[in-house]
Amino acid sequence: MSGYLGSYATLGLLLLASALVFVGAFGANRLLRPARPADPPGKRAGYECGLDPVGTDWAQMQIRYYVYAYLYVLFAVEAVFLFPWAVVFDRPGFGLVTVAEMGIFVAVLALGILYAWRRNILRWS
C-alpha cells in the first residue's frame, strides 16, 4: 500500500485486526467457561491471614501518609530532571544559561521543601 492513504489503510487494518482479536478472546471465554460457575461456601468472605475477620471493613487512613507519598514522588521526579541537566551542562554553549535555569529549578525545589517544613508536614507525630 502506497500513496497518501496507504498509511491510513494500514492503520485501519491494524485496528480491525485488534478488534477481531478482542472479540475472539471474549467469545472464546464465553464458549469455554462453565455454564454455572461453582460458588463454594466462604468464597465471598473476607480474609485476614487465615483468621476470621474481626470488626468491620471500614478503616480510616490518616492523610499524612498520602502527603508523604506525594512529597516523595514530587521530589523524586524532580531529582530525575537533574541527570539530563548534568549531561547537557558539560557541552559547549550551555554554561551560564544552564546554570541559571537549574538555579531557578533548585530554588523552586527549595521553596517546596521549605513550605513543607514550615507547615510541619514533615514532622512525624
> pLDDT 10s digit of each residue in the chain, 125 long?
567 777 788 889 999 999 999 999 999 999 998 887 777 776 777 666 666 666 676 777 777 778 788 888 888 887 888 887 777 777 777 777 778 888 898 898 888 888 888 888 777 76
CA distance 101 to 114: 20
pLDDT of residue 24: 97
CA distance 43 to 11: 45
Contact of 122 with 65, CB cutoff 8 Å? no
pLDDT of residue 72: 85
Sign of CA dihedral 30, 33, 39, 42: negative
pLDDT of residue 53: 63
Q: Which of 69, 101, 71 is nearest to 84 (CA)?
A: 101
Q: Which of 1, 3, 25, 4 is nearest to 13 (CA)?
A: 1
pLDDT of residue 66: 81
Q: Helical H runs in 1-125?
A: 6-32, 63-80, 82-89, 95-118
